[in-house]
Every structure is written in structure tokens, then in C-alpha cells.
Amino acid sequence: MSVEQLASILKSENEKGNDDSVLDVLEQIAEIEITLNHLKKTGVGKIVNKLRKHSNSEVGNLAKALIQRWKPLAKPKKKHVQIPQKKIAPSLQSNSAAPRTNVDVVKNAMAAISHLTGNKVRDSVRTSIKNALKPSDPSASPDYEQIAYAVEDEMFAAWGCQKKYRERARDLIFNLRDPKNPDLNENLLARAFTPLDFINFTADQLASSERRKETQKIRDWETQAARSDHQVAKAMTDEFKCGKCKQRKCSYYQQQTRGADEPMTVFIRCIVCGNRWRQ
């Protein structure tokens, strides 16, 4: 794709507010050796320059790096006057550091802002996981972005971009965004488990402690209700109506499952269809 086309797309995507697309185009431009002729004919320099103060820090950082890279192109070249070089002592030569090039500046800036794949589906998921995992104080977990990218890498390695990948992404992101489940984010950031373990968590493992307690209560009740050797006295009654078959032929028993000062729980079973419930 030509520089002129990329400049046009960059301008259009920025006007639409598509930050991910803007970042993607900027990275494509960064891979091209831009000349003074490009800057004059396409206006790409002006478009990128406006992005330096972008609300998205990733976009702003890369735009600044590109402008820094292109600055020498706009300066008039001075006539080269050959000046005899002074001999430098070997000890000074060995201690002198090599100057950083503009390419180094851009590479460092790109490495610092993002690790995108070039695949729109993957990059969208990576960004969503990163945003969901981002702690209130990023300085406390400066590597949260790398952890988010590692999670997506494991998902892609396991399922590619197939249906399972998309479904799992929705589940994980939903649970990471749950304000009632902060332990999940904290444990992932603390590396209490690996990204590979995380993507294979069951619903129970992803759930908050409160939700796990509620789930366990339901399971305990179902276990109690299904026991054939239950020692609590059972009785027949037509007081209860089955919600499934609408019959009033039921057996029931009572048990104290809550505090001593609270009423007993009634476990009911329809003897016609076998439906069980409690109240």
C-alpha cells in the first residue's frame, strides 16, 4: 500500500475515532522509509503531527517517534566541508558510545507501546483483555500488558481464531471486568496461576467467591434432596403444586439449613413426575 493511501486511511480512521485502526496504520507507515518527497506530496507528516497529542497514549507515543524520525528530512542540508580529523586516543575511542539512530527511536517506541499481531480479530481481543486486566494503579503491576498478551497468545495457540477462541474470549473478559470479582484480576497479575491455566479455568474457577458459595449451597441442597436414605421424616401432602406437571401429589420433609432462629427449609418432591424444589 502506498504512502498516499496510508495517509488517507489514517486521516479517515482518526476522524471516525477508531484508535486501533489508527495505531495499525501508524505501524505500517513506520515500516516504510519515508522521504522528503513523500512528506511534500502526501501530507502524511501533517496528519501524523496532529496525532502527537492524541487521547490514546499509544497513538501519541508512536506519532511523536515518527515525527522525531522525519525532522531531519525537513532541514536543509549543509554543504559538507571536510575538516581534518584529529587523532583520538585509543582509550577514548573504546569508551565512546555509538549514537542512537532515528530507526532505534521508532523501534523502541513501538516496543514500548504495544505488541500487535496484524490480525484484526486477535488485536481486538488483546486490547480488550488488556483493558479489562488494567489495574487502578498501573504502576503497581507494570507488566499487566504483557500478561494480557500472553493470555491471548495461549488462546490463539489452543484454538486459532475459531468459534471456541471467540467464545472463550468473551467469558474471560466478562469475568475480568466483573467488579464483584477483583480476586481474579489480582491473582492473574500476581501470577498465582499461568495464562495457560487461566484460559482453561472452569466456570467455578472463574467465579467470584460469593458466587461459588451460592453455587455450593444449591449443590448441597440438590444432594440432600436426592438422598434416598434421608433420616428426616417425610410426609405426603396436596398442599404443594408441582410447577412441571401441575399435580398436587407430593412428598416433603423439613430441615434446619439456616440459623436456629430462622424457619426450616421445606424440601418437596412430586411423586408423579419426580420434580424437586424447596421453599
Looking at mean pLDDT, say which of 65-69, 199-203, 225-229 comes out highest.
199-203
pLDDT recorded at residue 266: 86
Say whether pLDDT at 237 is over 60.
Answer: yes
From the list 146, 154, 210, the residue with the least C-alpha distance to 178 is: 210
Q: Which domains does the chain have, with CATH numbers?
A: 3-74+102-113 (1.20.930.10), 120-207 (no CATH), 222-278 (2.20.25.10)
Find the range with the poorest average confidence among 5-19, 85-99, 133-147: 85-99
pLDDT band at 112 (very low <50, low <70, confident <90, very high): very low
Q: What is the mean pLDDT of the chain?
A: 79
Using one digit for the tens of pLDDT, what is the confidence trace for 252-269? 887 777 666 677 888 888
d(CA 44, CA 60): 15
Burial of 27 (0-12, 13-18, 19+ CB in 10 A): middle
pTM, rounded to two decimals: 0.43
pLDDT recorded at residue 226: 58
The DSSP call for residue 267 is: E
